[in-house]
Structure 1
């Protein structure tokens, strides 16, 4: 098959959706398919691997970016002769679409909790543009198949847009087990020494953190490019309410680091949190942590949860995140109701660190057992099977 793969940015340097685009085109090519990536940009080093068709974007405002990309992408698709056009971004002219970015219609509802604010956001040009794109995608004459990563989004598609179950295919995300695996824990002592040196060098360093790099000091890991949306506020508040006052936190990713450092200090966490910024070899830090925490408000499937589990690190996340599907509470992680269940988050972290070391090792082993069955290669194969199903349907029509 000649597959057109739509994603605004295709990159290994950005967040999970952009990396997924790379993994998918590589996986589809390995299966013998011809792939053309259609988007605004692609990493220079990837251009030798895959055909790329650039799409012009009006960058004047957020609204014009979304609208112009969708319109210009649709025109470009019509000018080509693909067997299947698969979208990882919201545009028209697709045969299949993977719900990769949060469903905007639901996101506005859960993000703007005040009814007045929520109503006002319905008038926001950016939101209105995306709402319209979603309606076009999910209407009966829209895409033939919607690929979701979780039971949550399958339910939301039916509730908000009345999408028939026959059009929905659930394919759980995959992880690159060559990069993310329990072997990274072999460097655990070295990485923890590095982390605790940073904790010990801060202006408000706690006496507990100074000189401590062994496995006795509980260490949480949080990773995101959007601190607020992924629940860092809730995590800081939970840490301030925990009984265990020795727990430290490593925050990875870009965001308002200075602002969140002030918030941490304000709730009495000075010296227990280190903001390490973006890290290319993030698997080293997953392996150094004892528990990965992502109390996200809502998203289809946080790749970081699966990556951490592949490195043998149990996960705490919310039932409002697609990744909750793969977590068996008390076995390979924990699930709290939502990002605002701060007391439950605090209690669950305390409970985890009250477990014996052998019990926590059993959980670590279960994490790998779960993640090792969800490989990127399997994901690409299952997606290709949906393409073949749709192609047969198109040919029959």
Structure 2
């Protein structure tokens, strides 16, 4: 059947799509991508089903509960996969799209990257006994087995960076034509340089930060993976600037406060926890810093760029593919090198306006709506392949 016949069939009959997402919600900034994708599919007259363990009700979506055993990450992952497969097989769908590590989909969005690569990176930062646990921990053993099955058997894999695509090919010998790269998009209206006029002064006043203070912003939960220790060490190496570092996200703040206190920089750092209106803090900041150990594609990096502030991150962040060194920001090659980070911070602080303008310009090429459109096309292509 040709493309024209396939298109006619889509018009004549309402196509049924199944999405797999353990915790499903289209509310909040982190879910904007999924919200935009679902809305575009609704407008195209698709019948949408969601298989989840938890969800927020949404008109026009049929929900199906997938039970799990929640006591450990291993049991939760295993039972969600197995129970999703049982439920999916009871119904007929034109395309099954999974945002989780499951084995019953036509399309898998590899939003969490490659677990084998993450373990390799972690092994460079952990002590011997911890590295040994990677080989005997049931969760890691199962995750690697599951990952291999997913990447080997799924018809189409959607990676959110070229970095992740390469890792999947290198570890699992997946044909490159089975993987398509769709970068995460950003809400260009919500994250905008214009926000500085609305919120910069108010946010700084609420935190007792003067206008002549240079504000460095760190956004990310899981402080160890996001490289917070390297950031704090870098702050201790910066001289000649009146600095304040805002740390937003969830993690063991006591541990990192102790590190900062020992280095004599605790007075430069504010831990603000999780913030829902994160765009207000981008508006208050001068520079975004994320020396992450591993991020398939950091949404926060692109949000910062869209907000018109330069970014510094590492080569292990898929979003680094959008950054030309010295233009929109900098990319670190050694994620643990605090001196390298300090040098890049110093250089960036001398060129904030020019680099911030370039960051916004680059982000404008990645609107959230275009990312969703590309995903819709991937779904339609997969449907046609099944029909043929």
Q: With structure 2 as the length reference, what TM-score do the two structures score?
A: 0.91
| CA 379–30 in structure 1, closer or farther in 2 if over 3 Å, else same | farther
Residue 100 of structure 2 is aligned to residue 89 of structure 1: yes
Q: What SS does the aligned partner of 2:324 have?
A: coil
Partner Cα separation in structure 1 for residue 113 and residue 28 of structure 2: 17
Is 2:37–2:373's contact at 8 Å kept on the other side of the alignment?
no
Residue 19 of structure 2 is aligned to residue 8 of structure 1: no
Residue 85 of structure 2 is aligned to residue 74 of structure 1: yes
Partner Cα separation in structure 1 for residue 96 and residue 334 of structure 2: 35
Deviation at residue 263 of structure 1 after TM alignment: 1.6
Q: What SS does the aligned partner of 2:221 have?
A: coil
Tell me the residue number matched to 2:249.
253
Q: What SS does the aligned partner of 2:154 have?
A: coil
Tell me the residue number matched to 1:158.
169
| CA 178–373 in structure 1, closer or farther in 2 if over 3 Å, else same | same
Q: What SS does the aligned partner of 2:71 have?
A: coil
Residue 311 of structure 2 is aligned to residue 318 of structure 1: no
Match of 1:123 among 94, 119, 136: 136
Match runs of 1:349-360 below 5 Å: 349-355=345-351, 360=352
Match of 1:366 among 354, 358, 379: 358
Deviation at residue 257 of structure 1 after TM alignment: 1.8
Which 5+ residue runs of structure 2 have no aligned equivalent?
1-14
Deviation at residue 6 of structure 1 after TM alignment: 1.2
Residue 386 of structure 2 is aligned to residue 390 of structure 1: no
Partner Cα separation in structure 2 for residue 14 and residue 341 of structure 1: 34
Tell me the residue number matched to 1:203.
none
| CA 262–120 in structure 1, closer or farther in 2 if over 3 Å, else same | closer
Deviation at residue 27 of structure 1 after TM alignment: 3.6
Partner Cα separation in structure 2 for residue 89 and residue 20 of structure 1: 15
Q: What SS does the aligned partner of 1:182 have?
A: coil
Deviation at residue 12 of structure 1 after TM alignment: 5.6
Partner Cα separation in structure 2 for residue 270 and residue 163 of structure 1: 47
Match of 1:304 among 277, 300, 306: 300
Is 1:181–1:311's contact at 8 Å kept on the other side of the alignment?
yes
Partner Cα separation in structure 2 for residue 245 and residue 232 of structure 1: 20
Question: What per-residue deviation string (whole Å, max 9, x for no partner) do you get for residues 94-123 of structure 1?
Answer: 101111113111111111225664343121
Which 5+ residue runs of structure 1 have no aligned equivalent?
198-211
Aligned length: 371
Question: What per-residue deviation string (whole Å, max 9, x for no partner) do you get for residues 322-357 of structure 1?
Answer: 0101112221111101421221111100111133xx
Partner Cα separation in structure 2 for residue 37 and residue 257 of structure 1: 36
Is 1:10–1:19's contact at 8 Å kept on the other side of the alignment?
no
Residue 246 of structure 2 is aligned to residue 234 of structure 1: no
Is 2:213–2:244's contact at 8 Å kept on the other side of the alignment?
yes
Deviation at residue 15 of structure 1 after TM alignment: 8.4
Partner Cα separation in structure 2 for residue 319 and residue 349 of structure 1: 16
Partner Cα separation in structure 2 for residue 147 and residue 168 of structure 1: 6
Deviation at residue 49 of structure 1 after TM alignment: 5.4
Deviation at residue 266 of structure 1 after TM alignment: 1.3
Is 1:7–1:21's contact at 8 Å kept on the other side of the alignment?
no
Partner Cα separation in structure 1 for residue 101 and residue 69 of structure 2: 16
Tell me the residue number matched to 1:334.
330
Tell me the residue number matched to 1:348.
344
Match of 1:137 among 150, 167, 176: 150
Q: What SS does the aligned partner of 2:226 have?
A: coil
| CA 354–70 in structure 1, closer or farther in 2 if over 3 Å, else same | same
Partner Cα separation in structure 1 for residue 43 and residue 185 of structure 2: 15
| CA 105–232 in structure 1, closer or farther in 2 if over 3 Å, else same | same
